[in-house]
Structure 1
Amino acid sequence: MMDIVSWENIYELTQSYRALGPIIGVLLPFLEAFLPFLPLFAFVIANATAYGFWVGFLLSWAGTVAGSYAVFLIVRKFGQARFLHFMTRHKRVQKLIHWVEQHGFGPLFLIICFPFTPSALVNVVAGLANIRRYYYLVTLMAGKFVMVFIVTFVGHDIRALFTQPIRTAIVVLLIALLYVGGKVLENRMNKKAEAEFRRIREEQRRGQQ
């Protein structure tokens, strides 16, 4: 009985969400790029539940790509301005900027593919790095396509999570794997970037002697 009531409550929420129109389905993922504390995972699932698999996927994908690219362009234009200069002085950001410039598409694509990695930081770093606008747009579109598709697939049938416990267990396991995988990738990238950064600093120090 609790499962039925819970499902009915969620169904009513999704219908209310859908009544707001598809613009909200694009706007919320767009805003998440500027406000990373917002739950992108939840927005993608809400779109998939309210609008169906493919429409929900396209709304989420368009919104998150547009928002991420907008952040990238803003940082690219104003990154050297005084009010954003504090970012370039941060050691972690400097390390990641160098890492992105050296390794390009591969690391960016992989880290964007995972839904729990800090995509906001990636957008900022890419904006500060020496990456062509078109190049980053293509990377964003490809990485976000994979990420949004995975999350949409996981959450497009919320009712099944209440009626099919095996499917629920698989979904929970998949989410856990995505979370762990994203964190492992993030940590490895940070370690490699730090090692590369130290090597360059050491070479510069030796050259000055």
Structure 2
Amino acid sequence: MNEDVSNLDELQDMISDSVVGDFIIQLLQFYGGFGPIPGILLPFIEAFLPFLPIIVFILANSIVYGLVMGFLLSWAGSLAGAIIVFVLVRKSEKFRWVRRIKYQKHIQKITTFFDRRGFTPLFLLLCFPFSPSALLNVVVAFTKMSIKQVILALALGKAVMIFSVSYVGDSITSFAEEPVKTIIVGIAIGLFWIIGKYIEKRIQTDVEREDGETT
């Protein structure tokens, strides 16, 4: 009990002078009787309303539910929201106004880049908490990347991002003050990248095999 109070005080110090942060913590505690639903719902909603403070949600979850459970809830909610946004945008390409957005020159340059590079740049961008993940969800929906590739990048990239925020905290100076944390986060990025590239290669091999069988 004392440890939970200490952790809560530490979080409140990190987001001092943040009315939104204090409100989120109180909200999660108040609705604690609903189990993990609030912890999943807040990151899920952020995928549709990107102006909401995802970092505050992740930190609050790690305090209220614990580091491991808080990480899992944040990851599940954020990933589910991102996948739904991606699918909705891709399905909406039949509308003329969506196609107008898709074929704008600057959008085409970005989608061409992702089409050529595939998994790696999307994964790396999603690893960082300050990347425009909501914009990435929309732009990637306009690419030729398969839904399996996109979900893979979303799942692994968001896992690294949420883990780093939960583990390191929202203070960038923590990286300089505690180099061990920097090393651990760096290892996590490298490990997830290797896993992702391996799975992506397997997906591409399966697709090529299926194409060969149909021809």
Q: TM-score, normalised by structure 1?
A: 0.68
Q: In the alignment, does 2:145 pair up with 1:131?
A: yes
Is 1:25–1:47's contact at 8 Å kept on the other side of the alignment?
A: yes
Q: In the alignment, does 2:70 pair up with 1:56?
A: yes
Taking the TM superposition and a 5 Å limit, the aligned residue runs for 1:118-157 are 118-155=132-169
> What SS does structure 2 have at the residue aligned with 1:35?
coil
> What SS does structure 2 have at the residue aligned with 1:134?
helix
Q: In 1, distance between residues paired with 2:95 and 2:79?
A: 25
Q: In 1, distance between residues paired with 2:27 and 2:52?
A: 20
Taking the TM superposition and a 5 Å limit, the aligned residue runs for 1:73-84 are 73-84=87-98
Q: Name the structure 2 match of 1:188.
A: none
**What amino acid does structure 1 have at the position aligned with 2:66?**
G
Is 2:11–2:60's contact at 8 Å kept on the other side of the alignment?
A: no
Q: Name the structure 2 match of 1:18.
A: 29
Q: In the alignment, does 2:174 pair up with 1:170?
A: yes
Residue of structure 2 aligned with 1:105, choices 114, 119, 130: 119
Q: Name the structure 2 match of 1:183.
A: none
Distance 1:93 1:9, change over 3 A: closer
Greater helix content: 1
Kindly indicate whether structure 1 or structure 2 has the higher relative contact order, using CA contacts under 8 Å at least 6 residues apart.
Answer: 1
How far did residue 114 of structure 1 move?
A: 0.5
> What SS does structure 1 have at the residue aligned with 2:131?
coil
CA RMSD of aligned residues (A): 3.0
Is 2:41–2:77's contact at 8 Å kept on the other side of the alignment?
A: yes
How far did residue 130 of structure 1 move?
A: 0.4
Q: Name the structure 1 match of 2:9.
A: 7
Distance 1:104 1:127, change over 3 A: same
Q: Name the structure 1 match of 2:108.
A: 94
Distance 1:90 1:35, change over 3 A: farther
Unaligned 5+ residue runs, structure 1?
Answer: 159-166, 178-209
Distance 1:76 1:169, change over 3 A: closer
Q: Name the structure 1 match of 2:198.
A: none
Q: In 2, distance between residues paired with 1:172 and 1:34?
A: 33
Distance 1:127 1:9, change over 3 A: closer
**What amino acid does structure 1 have at the position aligned with 2:29?**
R
Q: TM-score, normalised by structure 2?
A: 0.66
How far did residue 70 of structure 1 move?
A: 0.7
Q: In 2, distance between residues paired with 1:101 and 1:168?
A: 32
Q: In 2, distance between residues paired with 1:99 and 1:110?
A: 14
Encode CA deviations 1:142-177: one digit per residue, 9 max, x unaligned. Answer: 10110000011123xx9xxxxxxxx99526979xx9
Is 2:64–2:70's contact at 8 Å kept on the other side of the alignment?
A: yes
Percent of pairs with identical residues: 42
Unaligned 5+ residue runs, structure 2?
Answer: 1-5, 14-21, 183-215
Encode CA deviations 1:89-133: one digit per residue, 9 max, x unaligned. Answer: 333221110000010011011001001011111111111110111
Q: In the alignment, does 2:81 pair up with 1:67?
A: yes
